[in-house]
Structure 1
Amino acid sequence: MVDDTDPFLSLDPQGADWDRLRATGHHMLDMMFDNLREIREQPVWQPLPDDIRTGFRHTPVPEHGMDAEAFGETFKQMVLPYSVGNRHPGFMGWVHGGGTPVGMLAEMLAAGLNANLGGRDHAPVEVERMVIRWASSLMGFPETASGLFVTGSSMANFIAVIVASRAAKDGLSLRQNGVGQRSLVGYAACSAHGCISRAFDLAGLGSDALRLVPVDDAFRMDTTALKAMIAADRQAGFEPFLVVGTAGTVDVGAIDPLDVISGIATKEELWFHVDGAFGAMAALSPHFKKALSGLERADSLAFDFHKWAQVPYDAGCVIVRDATKHAAAFAQTLSYLSREDRGLAAGAPWFCDLGPDLSRGFRALKVWATLSVYGTQRLGRMVDHCCAVARHLEARVDAEPMLELMAPVTLDIVCFRLRDCTLTDEQLDHLNGEIVKDVQIAGLAVPSTTRINGRLVIRAAIVNHRTMAADVDRMVDAVLAFAARRGLTAPG
């Protein structure tokens, strides 16, 4: 006999406890709205106190539950003040979107619905198909293109490499036989994100199969070198199958000459993929979309809505021009996943036929909400404004005798460096790195560092819709103030 009388068998509240949980939920929502409204008055980032860190590392698994209101208070005290800080307008260190209140609400709705978008015939699947169609149109792809939402561009680029390898001559045999003795090679600029090399590794091609092409003075792929490398590989018996262009490099935001790369890929019969992790969203701007010329001819594209489009994490996207080739790379036939002509098991193809995941959350809902509430025109103005703020920072750097610009500003990333003719390059590397940490720990701003031509530089990525000119001025002022404290003086 099954005893169904125990009120704790279900995890739902019972009776009046629903009202109490509702009040707790409203309180949590108010807490997050208040926090977002007052974000500018808070530190950009602050270190996690040792006692809280120790508590996380030593708290045992709970055997008995706690009240939801008490858990909310724990979150407020132990997590909320010590997050990465990317919601703050002073966060410029990495290409992280700032999120929006609308996206937060959409995430709550998706969690309440708890839909698995691996497959089956239900409305959330149609929402994702709709948003993929929208994304394809925004990027200049045909509306018949295939695609799906993933964790981020690392996974999106991995999927693209898999599809490209399967689309090569006799590529589908790789699904059963593996790479074996095939000598498949691909190409990307040496400035390409590390996830491209990692995708080659994970796909079994080997990271050495990715040829790194030199860049020009503007940090864009040298297409003359690309052509020479392809010819040399063919002569040596290798099988070129893929070339990757980048729209918005991670270090300086450069855009490879996508139109030229597209022509080379067509002539050489290579798959043309674009990693547009953040830069592809320049397509929202009528002004900056021109810089992406050639992207619309790509065979596949990876990008993130959770960066410049401000959708909450995570919301990566991959688009593949040829839906048949996309499905051929991943489709599977398992008896328990059989597709039917009607009922809940209808609606093929499913998204699990287009990538490695069977269990998939409703990421498309927050993208749908963001595009619907704000519209592409407003999002495009936001992209323009971020780039305008970057230009303001560029001008501020040029006007400061103690600073020097280290790379051209293409979109929204500005790389600069403190200078002092009395110090060696190595000493300046150390000084710039230490001052970035000073500024971060003070909670005034969060730039990051990278290396350009071997030198450590300060990097500011203006991706957050909340970041204004005053915020980058505050960051520069903080850099100069900490430099003065360390004894750096302006050139005479």
Structure 2
Amino acid sequence: MTNKKSREDLTLDPKDWEAMRQLGHQMIDDLIDYWKNIRQEKIWKPIPAEVKAFLDQPIPAKGQDPKEVYEEFKHFIFPYNKGNVHPRFFAWIQGTGTPLGTFADLLASGMNPNTTIGEHSAMYVDRQVVNWCKQLMNFPSESSGILVSGGSMANITALTVARNSFGEEKIRQRGLKAASAQLVLYCSVETHSCIQKAAEIIGLGTDGVRKIGVNDRFEMKTDELEAQIQEDLGQGLFPFCIVGTSGTVNTGAIDPMDELLAISRKYGLWFHVDGAYGALAKLDPKYATRLKAIEEADSLAFDLHKWLYVPYEVGCTLIRDSKKHREAFAMTPNYLLQETRGLSGGPDSINNYGFELSRGFKALKIWMSIKEHGREKYAQMISQNNRQAEYLGDLVQENPQLQLMAPVSMSITCFRMVKPGLDESQLRDLNREILLRIQEEGIASPSSTILNGKYTLRVANVNQRTRMEDMDLLVREVLRIGQEIRTI
């Protein structure tokens, strides 16, 4: 028989708590130094083969000292970050994060609650943050919402509610076979790819997605939209949802929200807004009127790791009709019974409003960040990013060697370098080489896109560290590198 007194129970806690405390302090100090000096660092570095080989090793059988593990992190991982904490990260619409937001994630991980069900503080913080999101978007207080990983999950959550709410078909119970004809969703050709993915996942298939053309400002054509709806109705199909985009990721274009809202009401369709990037631009007075129709949408998806600059990852779905939202997801198995008292009490389970049952305490970084800065500061920061994009657009238009490729909208500027005598194929190669060199030299990280068949440099700025001087530097470096490229 085992002697209980002589047996040592295993744990993953450190044997030396003070050594772990010291290591934690070192990590915080290193992060502070990293952020403080980030402007002087190269934005991106190629990953050496030795690092990739180290990160391809098999799982260790035995553990290491935590200090050794951290030293390996500092050598093999930390120097080769993506760069979106840097002031000149413009590649994709990815926010920079903030120090307090990062520390909030540390605290949330340390508390380690599953923020789905129960009577504990994280549930109430989550609820408060969702209410703040409603207030930011001027959604009704009785509407519902849920924090998710990002725009893709936010959009599919909303479209699931839209699908399940269609007519009297009881699609949740009976599936799409309950509908006697194909359900059809409408969006523009510039809509984010996650909308089509969502349509495929919820059973509509690509045949159920109508991609409507855009005008010269890359905004959805409403006359084409209405003609397509009428054609589908004439063929006995079931139009059910219009997706408007408040800021495309390609050019920042804003679909004509007022018109889309009116068309959706005319035909009795669900109006969903994909505002993953641009919904928060309604805090900028310049865009408030154009985005006001968001407040009347049936559902809205937007990201907080973009223009609230909180660390990855967190997005939000808002649903105007909370009853329809709950009916689309609610389920209570025997092992999740809720009580009026004790740990199993608390607010309505968040699982009743989405798919996930395992959810981290992602609300804390939003809660602490909004507490630190307040709504007005965020409005100023978003406006600042938009003015920086406009300034870059002005620099481009003032220089005959540069060409603006789309109207500047919100915080996205699309342009390219041009040289006399080069055809489109040569201009593509020129600008592609400029892009790669400016990244490889660690100067800045714009990205590329294709607009009207032409290769384009794209600057998407949701960066709380960017200054106007960074736009001056970017233009100087594009011109320098372009001049250095003699042959294509």
Following superposition, the deviation at residue 289 of structure 1 comes to 2.0
| Code of the aligned partner of 1:84 | K
> In the alignment, which residue of structure 2 is the partner of 1:194?
193
Q: Secondary structure of 1:261's partner?
A: helix
Match for residue 87 of structure 2? 89
Cα shift at 1:342? 2.0
Q: Determine the C-alpha separation between the residues in 1 that align with 2:172 and 2:147.
A: 25
Within-5 A mapping of 1:132-281: 132-179=130-177, 182-281=181-280
Q: How does 1:76-475 map to 2 (within 5 A)?
A: 76-179=74-177, 182-475=181-474
Q: How big is each residue's C-alpha offset from its partner over 1:404-448, in whole Å with a ceiling of 9 and x where there is no partner? A: 000001210000011123111122112211210111000001000
- SS of corresponding position for 1:149: strand
1:121 offset after TM fit, Å? Answer: 2.0
How many Å separate the matches in 2 of 1:121 and 1:216? 51
Equivalent residue, structure 1, for 2:49: 50
Residues 336-370 of structure 1, C-alpha deviations (whole Å, 9 max, x = no match): 11222222222352111111111001110001111
Taking the aligned partners of 1:4 and 1:78, their CA distance within structure 2 comes to 43
Distance 2:272 2:72 in 1: 45
Give the match's secondary structure for 1:360.
Answer: coil
The CA distance in 1 between the partners of 2:449 and 2:7, in whole Å, is 59
Superposed CA deviations along residues 302-356 of structure 1, whole A, max 9, x for unmatched, are 0100001100000111111111100111111311112222222223521111111
CA–CA distance in structure 2, aligned partners of residues 114 and 182 of structure 1 = 46
Q: Distance in 2 between matches of 1:169 and 1:201?
A: 20
Please state how far the C-alpha of 1:2 moved relative to its aligned partner: 7.8
| SS of structure 2 residue aligned to 1:262 | helix
Tell me the secondary structure at the aligned position of residue 478 of structure 2: helix
Question: Percent of pairs identical after alignment?
Answer: 41
Q: In the alignment, residue 393 of structure 1 is paired with which amino acid? A: L
Match of 2:63, as an amino acid? G
Deviation per CA, 1:227-282: give whole Å up to 9, x if none: 11111000011100000000110111011111111111111111100000110111
1:331–1:353 Cα contact (<8 Å) kept? yes
Post-superposition CA distance 1:287-309 (Å, at most 9, x none)? 43223120100011001000011
Change (3 A) 1:488 1:292: farther
The CA deviation string for residues 176-225 of structure 1, in whole angstroms up to 9 with x for no partner, is 33446541001011110000000001111102211001111211111111
Q: 1:3 to 1:271 in 2, by over 3 A?
A: farther
Q: Normalised by the size of structure 1, how large is the TM-score? A: 0.96
Tell me what 2:14 maps to: 13
1:38 corresponds to which letter in structure 2? Answer: N
Amino acid at match of 2:230: A
Kindly indicate whether the alpha-carbon contact (under 8 Å) linking 1:450 and 1:456 is maintained by their aligned counterparts in 2: yes
Using a 3 Å threshold, how does the CA distance of structure 1 residues 331 and 480 change in structure 2: closer, same or farther? same
SS at 1:70 equivalent: helix
Q: Give the match for residue 72 of structure 1.
A: 70
Structure 1 CA distance for aligned equivalents of residues 175 and 282 of structure 2: 40
- The 3-state SS of whatever aligns with 1:294 is helix
Q: How far, CA to CA, are the matches of 2:153 and 2:5 in structure 1?
A: 44
Give the Cα separation in 2 of the matches to 1:135 and 1:312.
17
Q: Does the Cα contact within 8 Å between 2:163 and 2:171 map onto a contact in 1? A: no
CA distance in 1, matches of 2:418, 2:62: 58
Paired letter, 1:153: G
Provide closer, same or farther for how the CA distance between residues 11 and 431 of structure 1 changes in structure 2, counting only shifts above 3 A. same
Change (3 A) 1:432 1:163: same
SS in structure 1 at match of 2:455: strand
**What 5-or-longer segments of structure 1 have no aligned partner?**
none
CA distance change for structure 1 residues 266 and 4 in 2, over 3 Å: closer, same or farther? Answer: farther
1:437 and 1:25, CA in 2 relative to 1: closer, same or farther beyond 3 A?
A: same
After superposition, what is the alpha-carbon deviation per residue over 1:117-142, rounded to whole angstroms, capped at 9, x for unaligned? 12122110111111101101110101
Alpha-carbon RMSD across the aligned residues, in angstroms, is 1.6
**Counterpart in 2 of 1:41?**
40
Structure 1 residues 99 and 32: CA distance shift in structure 2, 3 A = same
Distance 1:30 1:8 in 2: 34
Partner SS state of residue 170, structure 2 = helix
Q: CA contact under 8 A between 1:242 and 1:273: conserved in structure 2?
A: yes
Q: Given the two structures, how large is their TM-score scaled by the length of structure 2? A: 0.97
